Chains A and B, each alone.
Chain A
């Protein structure tokens, strides 16, 4: 459950990160590929080496979707409807991987924000990313 304050904080943080979506997103993905090599199996069709164009554009896309969702968290199911369909019927990424990506996103944010990644931001972010992942997997079955 996210409080009103937490939702505002999340909108604020993701608003701030939108200009560096490419950097944040590609770094989170890279961290995930290196710590959890099984996740690379979903990307055999792309060049996911550090700073590759594929990695940058893919990372950017993911962060922009997360940031968009943060603008109005109560509408997450509506905002993510197209992505739900994509993940359920085409990508079919096992949802365990969403947890792995979320963790690596938290690590990326911790490295990036340092002390600014307070316990409040951390808790809110973890809850938001869990909710995001849950909505994303809703159409799976």
Chain B
């Protein structure tokens, strides 16, 4: 089981508490699709991803970005059993969506950078470390049920 200090819990819930999901979610997913274009392979049914402008104006992508970010709420509410919380989603991503788990890390990195840009100097090295620890546990949990 992952151990969280009080400080880490408060940092992480603080970040999510001040987040505009409809802004950060879409931004992060778009960044991932633009900076790592091979991730677009999973979004064939989402319409026009022809260039960065198309991606950023794509309503399906925006909606999905918000959905994914809200998905992190589950981990936030169950920080002491993130592995159990995501067991089903892990199976879904493996058996139905066939997503290479490396992609979870890419999206997590993009989310980190979008939030860093928003928070500026408030995204201190310690805040970064706590947030990245949270995301790495989520990423691990999502990849856990692959076989």
Contacts and interface: CB of A to CB of B under 8 A. Distances in A.
B partners with A: yes
Interface of A: 27, 30-31, 33-35, 103-104, 106-107, 110-115, 117, 119-120, 122-123, 126
A123 B34 contact: yes
Interface in B106-147: 109, 112-114, 116-121, 123, 125-126, 128-129, 132
B94 to A, nearest CB: 25
A34 B35 contact: no
B117 A103 contact: no
Majority-rule SS of B interface residues:
helix
B126 A34 contact: yes
B34 A119 contact: yes
A103 B136 CA distance: 14
Majority-rule SS of A interface residues:
helix
Given A110-B113, A122-B113, A35 B132 contact: yes
A5 B68 CA distance: 32
B83 interface: no
Contact of B112 (A33, A107, A117, A126): A107
Top 7 closest pairs, chain A to chain B, by CB:
A110-B116, A110-B117, A34-B125, A35-B129, A123-B35, A31-B125, A110-B113
Interface in B36-56: 52, 56
Q: Most chain-A Cβ atoms within 10 A of its Cβ — which of B30, B109, B117?
A: B117
B117 A115 contact: yes
Contacts of A113: 117
A119 B52 contact: yes
Contact of A111 (B52, B119, B129): B119
